[in-house]
Structure 1
Amino acid sequence: MDELDRNIVTLLGADARMSVATLARRLKVARSTIQARLERLESSGVIVGYTIRLGEAAREGRLRAAVLLTIEQRAQAAILTKLKAVPEVERAVTTSGRYDLLLQIAAPTTQVLDNVLDQIEAMTGVLTSESLIYLTTRLDRAV
């Protein structure tokens, strides 16, 4: 990616609905250049989709938590398969250090969150878990 590609990604990260014409105008390049760059960014896997970011108003009424798991390594594939079936699990990433997996969870109530945490902790191969409930978002630069 060169500077133009990074600028395109930055602008689309702020507003995924921005038109090709608007991108071209803001970046002072031809519309056809933007279109070609977008096609290349998409085909190379740099851009895999266009979406919206929910603000705090949309997140109200949802409890969010990070769950840190230590797991038996031979059980990782089975655990990930089971996690995919839990709709409240938004993201699962492997980590370095003391924990093996970091999960991001969203639930509508404390009861649902508690049930999800119990379900995860009961999975075969989960050795330990630590849950961190999100309180207030102070900074969010995620695209």
Structure 2
Amino acid sequence: MLDETDRRLLDLLRENARLGISDLARRTGLARSTVQTRLDRLERGGAIQGYTVRLGQAATGALVRAQVMMKVAPKAQDAVVARCRGLSAVTVLHTISGGYDLVAEVAAPDTEALDAALDSIGRMEGVERTQSSVLLSTKINRG
């Protein structure tokens, strides 16, 4: 279970994963050893699975992105997920509830490449129906 201090540490790291133990300790009012112990526990427990870079507009601004909802045939989800894993244009894939089974975020350098990626997804064996929406701008991204 995460307590309020754990959540505060995670929020700080979500804003800037490069913050050091000293910075985290100063911002939370905790001792450095306490911060280190908590981070070790959060990593061991799986709350923190890794530290990464979140790309900004300068790196991703030229990409055209879309959200693709997929209705998948019964028992075909594992195969569709594996095929999506093989498409470099698929940057994120989630299972969802409701009328669709999966939602993917797809990114491509231009609309032609995006169209080809969407066609590839639509032609996958096991994908019964798709609905795509081009993403225009990002208003909030908490990573």
CA distance in 1, matches of 2:135, 2:66: 5
For 1:114, the equivalent position in structure 2 comes to 115
For 2:142, the equivalent position in structure 1 comes to 142
- Once the two structures are superposed, the pairs formed by residues 39-50 of structure 1 within 5 Å of their partners are 39-50=40-51
CA distance in 1, matches of 2:75, 2:4: 42
CA distance in 1, matches of 2:93, 2:50: 19
What one-letter code is carried by the residue in structure 2 that aligns with 1:25?
R
| Identity score, percent | 42
- Once the two structures are superposed, the pairs formed by residues 81-96 of structure 1 within 5 Å of their partners are 81-96=82-97
For 1:12, the equivalent position in structure 2 comes to 13
Structure 1 segments, 4+ long, off by >6 Å, are none
Q: In structure 2, list runs of 5 or more residues that go unmatched.
A: none
CA distance in 1, matches of 2:141, 2:3: 21
Q: What SS does structure 2 have at the residue aligned with 1:74? A: coil
CA shift for structure 1 position 125:
1.1
CA RMSD of aligned residues (A): 1.0
Q: What SS does structure 1 have at the residue aligned with 2:49? A: coil
CA distance in 2, matches of 1:21, 1:64: 38
CA distance in 1, matches of 2:30, 2:92: 37
